[in-house]
């Protein structure tokens, strides 16, 4: 599955969440990552993220789709990170 992850966490937790996202996905823009994950990788990723955040404060959005070809992306402004969805 193709996933896009957007996170907003307390500053002290950002480095741990960032490291976990980089282990599984490709950096796109500040707190945005994307990439292909198997079902097993997705479960491990979600479990790792849940262990690092405070769900009463932090927010993690995970968008799932069958593939990057199903997503239309329009960039306005500077391209940051790897914006190529076919990784």
Residue-level pLDDT at 82:
66
pLDDT of residue 76: 75
Number of Cβ within a 10 Å radius of residue 32? 18
- Mind spelling out the 3-state secondary structure of 39-53? HHHHHHHHHHHHHHC
Give the residue ranges of the chain where pLDDT is below 70: 82-87
Whole-number pLDDT of residue 87 = 43
Q: Which pLDDT belongs to residue 69? A: 79
Q: What is the pLDDT of residue 78?
A: 76
Query: Contact 37/25 with Cβ under 8 angstroms?
Result: yes
pLDDT of residue 77: 77
Q: Write down the pLDDT at residue 72.
A: 76
39 Cβ contact partners less than 8 Å away, ≥ 6 residues apart: 1
């Amino acid at each position: 599955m193709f996933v896009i992850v957007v996170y907003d966490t307390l500053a002290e937790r950002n480095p741990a969440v960032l490291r976990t996202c980089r282990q599984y996905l490709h950096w796109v823009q500040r707190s945005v990552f994307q990439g292909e994950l198997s079902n097993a990788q997705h479960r491990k990723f979600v479990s790792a993220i849940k262990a690092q955040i405070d769900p009463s404060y932090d927010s993690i959005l995970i968008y799932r789709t069958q593939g990057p070809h199903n997503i239309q992306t329009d960039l306005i402004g500077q391209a940051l990170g790897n914006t190529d969805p076919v990784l």
